[in-house]
Amino acid sequence: MALIQIAEPGESTTAHQHKLAVGIGLGTTNSLVATVRSGVVNTLPNTDGQHLLASVVHYGENHIHVGSDALQYSVSDPLNTIVSVKRFMGRGIDEMATEGAHYSYEFINTDSAVPRIKTRAGNLSAIEISAQILKALKVRAVDTLGDEISGAVITVPAYFDDAQRQATKDAARLAGINVLRLLNEPTAAAVAYGLDTGKEGVIAVFDLGGGTFDVSILRLNKGVFEVLATGGDSSLGGDDFDYEIAKWIVSQAANSNADSPAIKRYLMQQARNAKEALAEQAAVEIKIDIEEFQWTGTLDRDTLKTLLTPLVKKTLLSCRRALRDAEVDKKDINEVVMVGGSTRTLLVREMVSDFFERELLTSIDPDKVVATGAALQADVLVGNKPDDEMLLLDVIPLSLGIETMGGLVEKVIHRNTAIPIAKAQDFTTYKDGQTAMAVHVLQGERELVSDSRSLARFELRGFPAQVAGAARIRVTFQVDADGLLIVSACEENSGVEASIDVKPSYGLSDTEIERMLRESMDHAEDDMHSRSLREQQVDADRVIEALDSALAADGEQLLSAQEKTEIMQARQGLLDVKTDSDKEKIERAIKQLETTCDTYVARRMNSNIKTAMQGHSIEEYATDKQSAAEET
């Protein structure tokens, strides 16, 4: 007698019918893994029933501890207990040292592009340390689900740049996880709330975690999640709140013995405990007793407000900028979704509610909402819901382009463009006989290369020599769903190609992100003037170079001595004003030179036509034209 296997809907054990996929919220303070079972999203607990995994790794003498097991060594062995590693992902050595000021780690610069943290287990990159957290989450998922997972959607802050996203993917690869997609944390929250509540309209997602802050303005309509604008700070979060409280404790205690790594870590722990307690009570007693540091005092909500208000105001500036970029008003926002453990701080909720002038949406646990959205998206991506109409349209945070003559930036993809995206633009050569072109890939909102961030350089070589402007070089930018960039260049006439995967060795610091956006607005008028001036100067160079080339070819044959003298005088007049800051002067000088050269240009054209017609009659050209018309 045959046995019939019965399974709950969505829980078939037949591999081809239902694939196991998970969503991972890789956080600065805590991380989670979630999956969809029986059509319901659940975060997966460990054997002790704990859903949150502390994002902490301890390198012991003979064992690596992850999570709460590692957290117990935070004070006793601070240099080998790495907390908040997400803040170091994709960072350069200088940025890591700045970010690590709260933690007293020793950072090592190596021959490779990736800086490392000195530990008992060796000099380790942030990628390797993050991989340990991801491994622990993978083991939890496999143990709970009883089989290997097909893939995972991993969330990242919307303001993670290419280097930080690539570092996250590399960490997952080291952990043996197949990454289906990197998903922006605010978008993941929108997925969770959008599917749970069926809301449509414009929403703001305010995501304040342990180490990063994002705000996104999204439009939800018939299953389409479109990110209208995004903003934030990849180096602002709950850790910075804790640091301000820790500094206040030191100032209150008037104790100069607060420099050891153990004391610093202990103060950060006590600061965090006090901050969390003040979400439930009006005041909290703090007792410090470690090494030579002893102090007892009280922190109340008013003092906390004084300490944290400047940091919360920084998040509201990003909110205001995101609204402006999205071209929506506060009154257009239907819901404000709060994401991240730091949004439990009452001051944050009060100030955000006052800013948006509405009640906040907090019905899903702010620690779990991101992993919930990632799990829903993972379930779709592995094919468990073939009829699902959910579509995610994320955006790139900063414009991408290439350098053109005169040190100008030609933007190919503008910021807040939905991804994935592929966009091409045609360029040409500047000089006669040119057989190569350097492609300089840039990021930012300014008009000049000197004010933008360099991402990569490569060369397109080996295309045929032609006169200036004859070559047709198509440069294509491709940004995938994870926000990673590939740039390629192809000379269309010859088919010669070159490309590069843009994987910079370090990411943008918070000050760079803020500076790039702020300066693009503060200097918009100056930038446009500078661009116009630089374009006029490039045009002057082009005219002079073309004239010199023509004179060398046939100037002696076609010009009298007087005519040549007049042309050279006009040429010198253009040279004299070419570096001037008045673009109108340059424009007038170009027109003067072109007017002076009109007769010469006409003679050259007649000479070229005469040369081309040698040995032929006009009747031949007329016959050829008639034949072509008849064939058509």
User: 558-601: per-residue pLDDT in tens?
Assistant: 888 888 888 898 888 888 888 777 878 888 888 888 888 888 88
Using the 3D structure, point to which of 328, 360, 394 is the last residue of a domain.
394
250-259 contacts, C-beta under 8 A, 24 or more apart: 252/295, 252/297, 253/288, 253/293, 253/295, 253/297, 255/292, 255/293, 255/295, 257/291, 257/292, 257/293, 258/293
Please answer whether residues 472 and 493 qualify as being in contact, where contact means their C-beta atoms are separated by less than 8 angstroms.
yes
599 closest CA partner among 557, 558, 552, 539:
558
Q: What CATH number does residue 502 fall under?
A: 2.60.34.10
Using the 3D structure, point to which of 467, 498, 521 is the last residue of a domain.
521
**Is residue 458 one of the residues assigned to a domain?**
yes
Q: Which residues of the chain have pLDDT under 50?
A: 1-16, 195-196, 389, 504-517, 632
| Same structural domain, 359 and 451 | no
| Same structural domain, 94 and 179 | yes
| Same structural domain, 383 and 410 | no
> Which secondary-structure segment (H or E) carries 561?
helix 561-577
**Is residue 8 one of the residues assigned to a domain?**
no
Domain span at residue 535 reads 526-613
Give the per-residue pLDDT at 307. 95
- CA distance linking residue 84 with residue 142, whole number of Å: 25
**Is residue 162 one of the residues assigned to a domain?**
yes
| Same structural domain, 379 and 430 | no
| Same structural domain, 225 and 252 | no
| Same structural domain, 121 and 219 | yes
Please answer whether residues 489 and 437 qualify as being in contact, where contact means their C-beta atoms are separated by less than 8 angstroms.
yes
Q: What CATH number does residue 565 fall under?
A: 1.20.1270.10
315 closest CA partner among 375, 367, 356:
356
Give the per-residue pLDDT at 508. 43
For CA atoms 124, 127, 133, 138, the dihedral sign is negative
| Same structural domain, 250 and 386 | no
| Same structural domain, 223 and 349 | yes
Q: What CATH number does residue 319 fall under?
A: 3.30.420.40
How many residues appear in the chain? 632
| Same structural domain, 171 and 243 | no
| Same structural domain, 222 and 258 | no
- Find all residues with CB under 8 Å of 365, minimum gap 6, and list them: none
Please answer whether residues 267 and 247 qualify as being in contact, where contact means their C-beta atoms are separated by less than 8 angstroms.
no
Give the per-residue pLDDT at 59. 94
**Is residue 119 one of the residues assigned to a domain?**
yes
**Is residue 632 one of the residues assigned to a domain?**
no
- CA distance linking residue 388 with residue 10, whole number of Å: 14
**Is residue 620 one of the residues assigned to a domain?**
no
| Same structural domain, 357 and 443 | no
How many separate domains does the chain show?
4
0.75 exceeded by the pTM? no
Q: What CATH number does residue 267 fall under?
A: 3.90.640.10
**Is residue 295 one of the residues assigned to a domain?**
yes
Using the 3D structure, point to which of 264, 288, 307 is the last residue of a domain.
307
Please answer whether residues 467 and 507 qualify as being in contact, where contact means their C-beta atoms are separated by less than 8 angstroms.
no
| Same structural domain, 177 and 250 | no
Q: CA-CA distances (angstroms) from residue 88 to 60, 234, 301?
A: 21, 10, 31
**Is residue 506 one of the residues assigned to a domain?**
yes
